[in-house]
Structure 1
């Protein structure tokens, strides 16, 4: 392989790419802190809040693989600039939005931009760095993406305490503009004309199948699971995803290589990593309303109070590799999932009187479980594959993780909404006020303030905490089942996760060292 001539501007270019990845990282969590405020200002129901969070994740998951192929064929620098431009436009639209539908549309546009930026920001590194520097560069990029997760609630909380909710969108604009400027002046253009063509039919099947599934899950608590529209969407989702799998299995060069799931180690490690994203995304959706509406903290205080989980996650993620080296991936992944199950079970015992100290305890334990499970699972998943399948394996793994996050928000959020509505005591309220109060704990507090129904606040807090407990119990059972499956079916056999060119697979534990 020809030696890459070091570009004197490469570290400046990396700095700009890091800023872009940092922005995408905290954009995954910054909205969660803002949702209770937005629900109050825009009158958003729990279902609409789920869509504000999920519109971004669904589009991101559906378009990540074709976005990478677009960069290979038409120029990575060009598509990276395009992605940052789309993300900037979506952020600006979100900041100026005046209603829920516009926010959801803006979040979907941001998902398109993020899907272009995420794979391409990593794929341009070989053109900037020689193999001996590339490991460090990938590690810096991966760290920036991970660091964005805990920064999101803090930045979002500070912005909400000083500005209006649109500021959580507006903060992305200068960051994206910086990334575009750096790409224009610092990045060389690279492409791979031999890469597979973007399969528009498979892309459409992915987007519509995921969209139909998430729509059905979010609407079910309101309409009922037997509602014709919900059943129709579920049936449509099954048909569309089945058609996608059949089409990709027949393709000579599939965009979504489903045969990778025939590798037992890849399959079960990917399931473990996907479940962790399912639980993490669901928790980050249900916790902010509890901290703000029930415990009465402001937005910044809420962001700070989410740090025990993020801190535990980052500490465990850093410590996972030496632990895996000693005990093996199967043991560590199984133990991480068991710790996560214990934390969720502990959290399910939360009451209205528990206070934040108890919450901080189980959040810290949950963070440790997340970190111990997800990093070794992802690394082991890719380590089971031959070197020439590492790229497609990484793409499939990242896509399934995003799907897990989207379904987590939809399913756990819908479970919470249904339990909250059933437990809320609206006796004595007019029909319209009762319906509004049942939409979310935030709107219940607003209705109580307007109608002077003092008992409604206590009922709403109790109903929400009970619903959160049910969600956490489901998370505990799912994590425990996954831990048992990992203990039984995983192996500790490993292969090298590096490609022949020396490129590291993004998001592996190797990239974090």
Structure 2
């Protein structure tokens, strides 16, 4: 394939099929997001002893999620750079294929350990896919259409959030737990066909010299940092020596990476972009909102299934209002930004997310279904007015030929924020739950008492084994979980309010963003 030439506009052949290309990119994104949303519904079944599930512990469930996150977050930035250099379409196709292979292997896992390992393979595929989708979008749409395209692209996340849990619920009602991963295989095949026939290749025409030291430092720093965060959440102790050592080493390596990149003539990432308040606020907002939401997403599955007694399908349907709100409002967010400015739009969006998270403090075992639906709809509406504007702020700050690294920065901050949210909020949930339930575990044999207090699923499992004597544990387990959930929700809402403060202070208002005024001429995609 030929290298892209320096032009002022997207080639007409590409421009004519840009909406079909966007559909393929949305389908690719759907694969990655759909899998994670399905897994949130399936965690309870996977925790069930064999032959129904794998008998995964709370810790193993977290690692089934976090092994993906660790690889995904650690390699996102490098994947974006590879796309800029070697070709984004090429990275998209390789990533999709790897994701499909990992999905099939995960579906036939015989143990929690195998599931964790194959989820890591899926994380590698996802890392190659995610930056490429947004980078290709930026290269097939002209600047004035990019906000609309990004809004539709972000709305596809809402579609995945809706389709994932519902599909997962239907599959779990009729098939074994591995079907939630195997469903990815036909989606991957369709996506690959669309890429072959529709998606153009694009890359940076002047990538400069290779920066293996910088790439290695970024991988090492991100992996160490995310591992430390995850381990701290697993232990519910962020003062543990291993946690402090790995997270501290990760931060030190990332600081060294920034210093090193500032001194290079052709750096992997131009650190000067972070000096722009709008850019820094946008990436910070992404990290904060996903910190708040990912922790809540993890425990909401247990609330809906373990406390409320919903089936996986019913649990998936409860998320539908959030997804509908995203699908409806995300493509239209640009119109709100045009009228009120990114600052007010995102600040109100963050406030809505915070309100939705705070509402979890009012949830109990008898909360009406309609009230939960309203809360999820409010959260989805808030997200729909945050993600498109901040993504536009990030992507339009960088020149088009650097779209891969820009998309990778966007995704990296989101994943690190999400991992931190699961770890920190998960540890808060676990710690509060254990302190609340310990006084009710007297009937549990001493040898398994500690494990029975790890989570609500562990307590209910121990109660079931005790037979009639265990029924007295069910009520205290529900009460302890609800108390822990309420406290965790307060922390989540506080983080979302911090995000509202950040975007309220630093995102641009109705005036043209500095990034838009200063952006260089775009470089088009070549076939």
Normalised TM-score (structure 2): 0.85
Contact 1:218 1:414 in 2 (8 A): no
8 Å CA contact 1:266–1:385 kept in 2: the answer is: no
C-alpha displacement of 1:264: 1.1
User: What do you get for the CA RMSD once the two structures are aligned?
Assistant: 3.2
What residue in structure 2 maps to residue 483 of structure 1?
A: 500
Instruction: Give the 3 Å change call, closer, same or farther, for CA 147–253 of structure 1 in structure 2.
Output: farther
Match of 1:364 in 2: 377
Residue 501 (structure 1) aligns with? 522
Shift of 1:128: 7.5
Deviates more, 1:123-132 or 1:71-80: 123-132
Report if aligned partners of 1:63, 1:203 keep a CA contact under 8 Å in 2: no
Per-residue deviation at 1:450?
A: 0.9
Which residue of 1 is the match for residue 4 of structure 2? none
Distance 2:17 2:401 in 1: 31
- Correspondent of 1:464 among 473, 477, 481: 481
* Cross-structure match for 1:431: 446
CA distance in 2: counterparts of 1:252 and 1:89, whole angstroms: 39
Q: Shift of the alpha carbon at 1:311?
A: 2.6
Question: 2: distance between equivalents of 1:100 and 1:52?
Answer: 8
Seen in structure 2, the aligned counterparts of structure 1 residues 269 and 503 have a Cα distance that, compared at 3 Å, is: farther
CA pair 225-184 structure 1, distance change in 2 beyond 3 A: closer
Residue 284 of structure 2 is aligned to residue 271 of structure 1: yes
Distance 1:255 1:62, change over 3 A: farther
Task: Determine the C-alpha separation between the residues in 1 that align with 2:433 and 2:358.
Answer: 19
One of 30, 37, 42 as aligned partner of 1:29: 37
Cα deviation for residue 31 of structure 1 reads: 1.0
* 1:87–1:114 CA contact under 8 A, matched in 2: yes
- How does 1:94-243 map onto structure 2 within 5 Å? 94-124=106-136, 141-184=153-196, 190-192=202-204, 194-196=206-208, 199-220=211-232, 222=235, 224-243=237-256
Q: 1:86 to 1:375 in 2, by over 3 A?
A: same
TM-score normalized by the length of structure 1: 0.87
Cα deviation 1:180-233 (Å, max 9, x = unaligned):
344445556554463245644444433443333333334335373443323322
Judged with a 3 Å threshold, the aligned counterparts in structure 2 of structure 1 residues 409 and 168 are, in CA distance, closer, same or farther, namely: same
Cα separation, partners in 2 of 1:294 and 1:204, compared to 1, 3 Å: farther
Counterpart contact for 1:125–1:137, Cα < 8 Å: yes
Following superposition of structure 1 onto structure 2, how do residues 198-347 of structure 1 map, counting pairs within 5 Å? 199-220=211-232, 222=235, 224-347=237-360
Partner of 2:388: 375
When structure 1 is superposed on structure 2, of 42-51 and 417-426 the one drifting more is 42-51
For 1:183 and 1:386, locate their aligned partners in 2 and report how far apart those are by CA, in whole Å: 24
The answer as to whether partners of 1:159 and 1:168 remain within 8 angstroms in 2 is yes
In structure 2, stretches of 5+ residues that fail to align are: 1-6
Mark the CA change 1:46 to 1:240 in structure 2 (over 3 Å): closer, same or farther: farther
- For the 8 Å contact 2:100–2:185, the answer to whether it is kept is yes
Superposed CA deviations along residues 483-506 of structure 1, whole A, max 9, x for unmatched, are 2333334432424387633779xx
Give 1:397 shift. Answer: 2.4
CA contact (8 A) 1:131 1:502 kept: no
| Residues 77 and 320 of structure 1: CA distance in aligned 2, closer, same or farther (over 3 Å) | closer
Given that 1:282 and 1:412 are in contact with CA atoms closer than 8 Å, whether structure 2 keeps it comes out as yes
Deviations 1:363-413 (A, max 9, x none): 222222222333333334555667787765444223212221222222212
- Residue 300 of structure 1 and its aligned partner are, at CA, apart by 0.6
Aligned equivalents of 2:491, 2:375: Cα separation in 1: 16
Instruction: Please say if residues 323 and 332 of structure 1, whose CA atoms lie closer than 8 Å, have aligned partners that are also in contact.
Output: yes
Name the CA distance, whole Å, in 1 between partners of 2:151 and 2:344: 25
The range that moved more, 454-463 or 137-146, is 137-146
How big is each residue's C-alpha offset from its partner over 1:64-95, in whole Å with a ceiling of 9 and x where there is no partner? 23223323433444333321221111111100
- Say which structure, 1 or 2, has more relative contact order (CA 8 Å, 6+ apart): 2
d(CA) in 2 for partners of 1:438, 1:419:
11
**CA spacing shift, 1:470–1:384, aligned 2, 3 Å:** same
Pairs aligned (count) = 504
Tell me how far apart the structure 1 counterparts of residues 92 and 390 of structure 2 sit (CA, whole Å). Answer: 29
Q: CA deviation at 1:268?
A: 1.6
Alpha-carbon displacement from aligned partner over 1:316-349 (angstroms, at most 9, x marks no partner): 4244333322222222222222222222222223
